[in-house]
């Protein structure tokens, strides 16, 4: 009998049920798409933001010393401390090694440019371009071509094992040099393989393989600083805490979270005698972007579900008004408030499940379209999200139906059977 009542309700009120189902489907479609975007787009947007450059820098620990006695600063000179190049592969041995998308060591040295009987002092910056490095069984390629993808080269990128160099575009203009020319730097003839444009200080410098800079400096394996590009999560209260004052469980949570601070801490552990810190402006800007996107997704989802609940409420109220005689008859025949309510809640649940499933499928298609047209990325929706979406649909439908069902169970059967409100 119970199932027949529910069936007859759908058969006799097809239009009302269709409108309510459409409202649920639309709300769930938007919610599904937004949840899919929020859960799948975070890392992808983070990877896109990594194209703005490194967000962590590793320097020698001596550079952090600031000793002053009698008004005299005894801090070691900036060019007197170096990291060891052989320690750099250990970066891929940290806990969050999969989040580290690349790193580039830097070694600036002063060189003498000998040309047309003149000698000019310029800066040569040694680095990796696209060098293959191995750590254990893992092999990976890293360098400025991955950490600074906006660097543009007119000509050819040098090989890391070569003696070719890049000239910054402003320096090349001043020297009237072009790709293919040969320059003599500190007594070494070098070939210009390309002209580099970065929009930064590198436009006035020579950029070369780091082995060449080490040879000129006379310090094999020396590295002045390392710029690291890592996928991180926005800072929160835990991220800003000092790990030295944390208890075991909280420390583990902090250490195992991809905060810029925790990844920097692990870099210090991996590279002896080093100090790592986030490039704060870059990290904060990334966190602000991700936080705002998540906030926008939450507001859109909430608005869609509230609108869906209001539409369901209106449809259910109209449906119950039209069926007040039926409600009165059920009460006369002995149905209690729970029995009457269970019929309407069963109808609402069935509507929610149907609308939720259709909305889940439509939301997946919408998420795919959003990812392709707005973010130019592929968004995939996990099947495990279906039970969550169905549960959300049921809760929204019940929330929208509650007021109307409450009025139904409180109807006086005498007035209901007479057609009175």
Enclosing H/E stretch for 19: helix 14-49
Q: Does residue 24 sit in the same domain as residue 69?
A: no
Whether residue 220 sits in one domain with residue 123: yes
Q: Is residue 308 part of a domain?
A: yes
Handedness of CA 133, 135, 139, 144 (dihedral sign): negative
Nearest-angstrom CA–CA distance, 266 and 129: 24
Q: Are strands 131-135 and 164-168 parallel, antiparallel or unpaired?
A: unpaired
Residue 242 belongs to some domain of the structure: no
Are 40 and 71 within one domain?
no
Please report whether residue 250 resides in a domain. no
73 and 212 together in one domain: yes
Is the four-CA dihedral 281, 283, 288, 293 of positive or negative sign?
positive
Domain count, the chain: 2
In-domain check, residue 410: yes
Which residue bears the tokens 């939720």? 356
Residue 255 maps to a domain: no
Q: Examine the domain organization and report whether 150 and 20 are in the same domain.
A: no
Domain match, 213 and 317 both: no
Tokens 């003498």 belong to: 112
Pair (325, 403) in one structural domain: yes
Same-domain pairing of 91 and 214: yes
Q: Do 136 and 95 reside in the same domain of the chain?
A: yes
CA pair distance 85, 142, nearest whole angstrom: 13
Q: Does residue 198 share a domain with residue 98?
A: yes
Instruction: Give dist(CA 223, CA 81) in Å, integer.
Output: 9
Q: 323 and 194 in one domain?
A: no
Q: Does residue 241 sit within a domain?
A: no
Please give the residue range of the domain that contains residue 364: 2-46+289-418
Which of 22, 20, 25, 16 minimizes the C-alpha distance to 319? 16
- The contacts of residue 84 (CB under 8 Å, 6+ apart) are 221, 222, 223, 272
CB count in 10 Å sphere of residue 385: 16
Does a structural domain hold residue 235?
A: no
- pTM for the structure as a whole: 0.62
HSE of 266, CA atoms in CB hemisphere, 13 A: 23
Domain check: are 156 and 59 in the same one?
A: yes
CA torsion sign for 55, 59, 209, 86 is: negative
User: Is 338 contained in some domain?
Assistant: yes
Per-residue pLDDT for the chain (421 aa), expressed as one digit of tens each?
Answer: 556 656 566 666 677 778 888 888 988 898 888 888 777 665 555 555 545 568 899 999 887 654 444 444 444 444 568 999 999 999 998 998 888 989 999 999 999 998 777 788 999 999 999 999 999 888 899 999 988 888 999 999 999 999 999 999 999 999 888 998 999 998 899 999 999 999 888 999 999 999 999 999 999 999 999 999 888 877 778 887 888 888 888 999 999 988 888 999 999 999 999 999 888 655 555 556 666 777 778 888 888 888 888 888 888 777 776 666 666 666 656 666 676 777 778 888 888 898 989 999 998 888 888 777 766 667 777 788 889 899 989 998 888 888 877 777 666 565 555 555 5
Rg (CA), the chain: 33
């Amino acid at each position: 009998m119970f199932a027949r009542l529910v069936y007859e309700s759908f058969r006799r009120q097809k239009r009302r049920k269709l409108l309510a189902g459409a409202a649920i489907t639309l709300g769930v479609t938007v919610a599904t798409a937004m949840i899919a975007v929020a859960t799948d787009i975070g890392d992808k947007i983070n990877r896109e933001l990594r194209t703005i450059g490194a967000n962590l820098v590793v320097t020698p620990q001596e550079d952090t010393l600031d000793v002053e006695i009698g008004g005299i600063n005894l801090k070691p000179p900036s060019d007197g401390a170096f990291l060891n190049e052989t320690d750099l592969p250990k970066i891929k041995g940290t806990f969050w090694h999969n989040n580290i998308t690349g790193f580039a060591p830097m070694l600036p040295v002063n060189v003498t440019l000998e040309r047309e009987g003149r000698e000019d002092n310029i800066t040569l910056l040694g680095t990796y371009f696209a060098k293959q490095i191995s750590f254990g069984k893992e092999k990976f390629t890293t360098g400025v071509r991955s950490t600074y993808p906006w660097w543009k080269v007119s000509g050819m990128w040098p090989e890391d094992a070569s003696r070719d160099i890049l000239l910054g575009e402003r320096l090349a203009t001043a020297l009237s040099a072009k790709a293919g020319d040969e320059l003599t730097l500190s007594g070494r003839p070098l070939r210009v393989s390309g002209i580099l444009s970065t929009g930064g200080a590198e436009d006035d410098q020579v950029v070369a393989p780091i082995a060449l800079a080490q040879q000129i400096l006379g310090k094999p394996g020396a590295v002045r600083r390392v710029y690291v590009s890592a996928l991180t999560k926005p800072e929160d209260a835990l991220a800003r805490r000092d790990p030295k004052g944390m208890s075991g469980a909280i420390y583990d949570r902090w250490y195992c979270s991809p905060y810029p601070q925790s990844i920097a801490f692990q870099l210090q552990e991996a590279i002896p005698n080093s100090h790592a810190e986030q490039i704060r402006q870059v990290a904060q800007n990334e966190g602000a972007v991700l936080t705002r996107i998540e906030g926008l997704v939450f507001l859109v989802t909430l608005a869609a579900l509230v609108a869906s609940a209001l539409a369901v409420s209106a449809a259910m109220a109209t449906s119950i008004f039209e069926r007040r005689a039926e409600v009165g008859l059920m009460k006369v025949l002995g149905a209690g408030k729970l029995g009457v309510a269970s019929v309407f809640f069963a109808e609402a649940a069935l509507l929610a499940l149907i609308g939720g499933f259709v909305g889940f499928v439509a939301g997946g298609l919408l998420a795919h379209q959003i990812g392709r047209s707005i973010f130019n990325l592929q968004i995939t929706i996990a099947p495990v999200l279906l039970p969550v979406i169905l549960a959300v649909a049921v809760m929204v439908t019940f929330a929208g139906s509650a007021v109307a069902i409450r009025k139904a169970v409180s109807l006086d059967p005498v007035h209901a059977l007479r057609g009175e409100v």
